[in-house]
Amino acid sequence: MSDGVPSPLARPDRGVLRLGKHVFPAGQPLIMAIVNRTPDSFFQPGVTWAESAALDRVHQVIGEGADIIDVGGIPAAPGADVDVAEEIRRTAGFIAAVRSGYPDVVISVDTWRHETARAACESGADLLNDSWGGYDERLAEVAAEFGAGLVCAHVGRQRPRTRPFRVGYADVMADVLVRTLALASRALQAGVQPDRIVLDPAHDFGKNTWHSLEVTRRLDELIETGWPVLVSLSNKDFVGESLDLPPEHRLAGTLAATAVCAWHGARIFRVHQVPESRQVVDMVATIRGDRPPARAVRGLA
C-alpha cells in the first residue's frame, strides 16, 4: 500500500458485502446495470428517459444477469440545472416501482445529495452511489439511518457536474487511497455498517486519461485495503481517448479494462452492456479460481 495511508482503515477480514437482503461472499463479482432517468446522458441519451422504457430496461438487465440496478437522475457532465425536487421526481417513484416488481433486487441510487438519498431509501433503495466523493457530508448519515450501503468515490477536488481541468497529482493512486479511506472513516463514524461500505477510484472523475489508466494498472493497491471496490468504466472517455473512438464504439475497450480490474479483484462493475460484462467478469473469476466453470466435461468422459 502507498505510504501515508492510515492502516487502521484497512478492512483486514476482506469479508462479505451486505446490500439489501443479500450477503455476497468475497470473490463474487457483481454487475451493476445503469438506468439513467435523464434526457441527456453521454451514452445513448434519453433511451431510458420515459418510465416505461426505463422499466423495460430493468426487466431486460435482470434477465441478462445484473445483480444491482443503479438509478440516476442527473448526468455527470455539465448541463442544464437539475434541482433537488426534479432529481427526486426522476428517481424516487421509479425506484418504488422497481422495488414493487422486484422485491429482492439490490437497488442503487446515483446521487450526491442527501435529500435525494433519503427519498430514494424511503422508496426502497439499498445503496447510495455517491459519485462525487462525499460532497454532501450528510449522505453518510442517511446511509446509516436506513442501513444502506455507501460508495466512497475519489474525485480529487472536483465539484459535482464539472470537468477536470489541468488536474495533477504527485501520485494519483496515493491520492485515491488517502481520500477514499478518509471517506470510509467518515462513513464509519456516521454509523454506516462496515460491510456496507464500497470504495470507487472513479475513473475520469477528477482525472485525465493518463490518471485513469494508471489507476487501472494499480487497482490492486486499492483492493489490498480489504474494502470492496466498485469500478465504473463503461464507455468512458479514458477508453475513447485511448482508442480514438466515440462512446458507441467503446465496448471492446471497456471490456478490456473490465478484465484487468476483475483480475485485480474489483467486486462491482457499473455497466451499460450487461451480458458482455457478465461474461467477462465471470470468466475472469473462473480463471482466478473464485468461480467454478458452469460445466466441465472436456477430457473427463
Q: Which of 230, 239, 145 is nearest to 180 (CA)?
A: 230
Return phi, psi of residue 46, to 5°. Answer: 80, 0
Rounded distance between C-alpha atoms, residue 139 and residue 150, angstroms: 8
Number of helical H runs and strand E runs in the chain: 10, 10
Q: How far is CA 14 from CA 11, 105, 141, 204, 230, in A?
A: 6, 23, 24, 27, 14
Q: What is the length of the chain? A: 301
Rounded distance between C-alpha atoms, residue 131 and residue 58, angstroms: 21
Out of 207, 236, 250, 278, the active site residue is 236
Rounded distance between C-alpha atoms, residue 68 and residue 87, angstroms: 20
Contact 288, 260 (CB under 8 A): no
Asked if 236 is an active-site residue, the reply is: yes
Dihedral class, residue 48 (left if φ above 0, else alpha if ψ from -120 to 50, else beta):
alpha
C-alpha cell of 101? Answer: 416488481
Out of 37, 179, 196, 270, the active site residue is 270
Q: Which residue type sits at 158?
A: Q
Return phi, psi of residue 161, to 5°. Answer: 60, 35
Q: Which residue type sits at 136?
A: D
Return phi, psi of residue 86, to 5°. Answer: -70, -40
Asked if 90 is an active-site residue, the reply is: no
* Catalytic center residues: 236, 270
